[in-house]
């Protein structure tokens, strides 16, 4: 559905300044909810494009969905967007799928079993030095010039998946983000052997009353501790010490 309407004329607006949305987000959201609730009627629902309902907190399982992650790239006709779907059980992702049809990619992960892209098993890289680590970004501040820039899709989920595929070594954010942005990709990265945490190095949990986390840190396993330490002062500054 999203691919068929990509690069066509559709309504678009901003939910709040700097946060774009389009009618395709909403249409995909409605379709996914109908299909996924049909598969698991007992599961709760948490989505970027659906008004949150506290009923999900009483459910063991909940679908955590971003109908189009990377809406900015979608609206601009670029390929860096994906449909992100995770099934969370007892606060931890059980299944995760990223469907990126413009890139002809489908990523999937199953807890305790592994992660794949287009059926090929994924394995995070073996980098052990932070210097030279590949980061999908548009630019680096002076303090981070020891890192290496690689191509950045707008979708944070696809950037996280790049670490799972050994196409990047480090993805980090130092701001409050939403569970639907990261749940599927975090599972895929973890099942590929990547280090995955919030910006302070703590484990990620899902289906919380406030469905947010302070940042995300996804790295090649050999540099996760070093990356958390490198960014710790900045993370604490954002949190006010």
In angstroms, rounded to a whole number, what is the distance separating the alpha carbons of residues 50 and 77?
Answer: 24
**CA 131 to each of CA 62, 118, 151, 159: distance values in angstroms, whole numbers, following the listed order:** 39, 31, 18, 19
**2-121 and 134-238: same fold?**
no
The DSSP secondary-structure symbol of 54 reads: G
Q: With bands split at pLDDT 50, 70 and 90, how would you rate the model's confidence at 72?
A: very high
In angstroms, rounded to a whole number, what is the distance separating the alpha carbons of residues 9 and 224?
Answer: 43
pLDDT of residue 241: 65
Q: Is 68 labeled as ligand-binding?
A: yes
Give me the residue label for tokens 């979608």: 74
Q: Does the domain formed by 2-121 have CATH 3.40.640.10?
A: no
Q: With bands split at pLDDT 50, 70 and 90, how would you rate the model's confidence at 95?
A: very high
164 CB-side CA count, 13 A: 27
**CA 237 to each of CA 15, 170, 178, 198, 233: distance values in angstroms, whole numbers, following the listed order:** 28, 21, 20, 15, 6
In angstroms, rounded to a whole number, what is the distance separating the alpha carbons of residues 55 and 53?
Answer: 5
Q: Is 25 labeled as ligand-binding?
A: no
Give me the residue label for tokens 């994924």: 122
Q: Is 191 labeled as ligand-binding?
A: no
The DSSP secondary-structure symbol of 169 reads: S
**Domain assignments of the chain as residue spans, ordered by start:** 2-121, 134-238
In tens, the pLDDT along 117-145 reads 999 999 999 999 999 999 999 999 999 99
**Which run of H or of E encompasses 93?**
strand 92-100
Q: With bands split at pLDDT 50, 70 and 90, how would you rate the model's confidence at 190?
A: very high
Query: What is the DSSP annotation of 120-164?
Result: EE--------STT-EEE-S---GGGTTSEEE---S-HHHHHHHHH
In angstroms, rounded to a whole number, what is the distance separating the alpha carbons of residues 52 and 209?
Answer: 10
Look up the CATH architecture of domain 134-238: 3-Layer(aba) Sandwich (3.40)
pLDDT of residue 3: 98
Query: What is the DSSP annotation of 197-220?
Result: E-TTSPPP--S-SS-EEEEEEEE-
In tens, the pLDDT along 163-179 reads 999 999 999 999 999 99
């Amino acid at each position: 559905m999203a691919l068929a309407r990509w690069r066509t004329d559709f309504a678009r607006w901003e939910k709040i300044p700097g946060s774009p949305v389009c009618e395709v987000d909403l249409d995909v959201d409605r379709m996914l909810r109908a299909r996924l609730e049909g598969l698991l009627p007992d599961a709760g629902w948490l989505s970027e494009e659906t008004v949150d309902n506290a009923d999900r907190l009483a459910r063991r399982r909940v679908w955590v969905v971003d109908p189009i992650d990377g809406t900015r790239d979608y609206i601009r006709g670029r390929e860096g967007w994906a449909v992100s779907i995770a099934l969370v059980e007892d606060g931890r992702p059980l299944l995760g799928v990223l469907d990126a049809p413009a890139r002809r990619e489908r990523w999937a992960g199953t807890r305790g079993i592994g992660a794949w892209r287009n059926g090929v098993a994924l394995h995070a890289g073996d980098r052990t030095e932070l210097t030279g680590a590949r980061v999908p970004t548009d630019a680096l501040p002076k303090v981070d010039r020891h890192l290496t820039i690689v191509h950045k899709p707008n979708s944070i989920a696809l950037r996280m998946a790049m670490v799972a595929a050994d196409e990047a070594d480090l993805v980090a954010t130092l701001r409050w983000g939403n569970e639907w942005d990261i749940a599927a990709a975090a599972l895929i990265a973890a099942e590929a052997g990547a280090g995955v945490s919030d910006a302070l190095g703590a484990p990620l949990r899902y289906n919380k009353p406030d469905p947010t986390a302070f940042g995300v840190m996804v790295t090649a396993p050999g540099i996760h501790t070093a990356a958390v330490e490198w960014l710790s002062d900045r993370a604490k500054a954002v949190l006010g010490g």
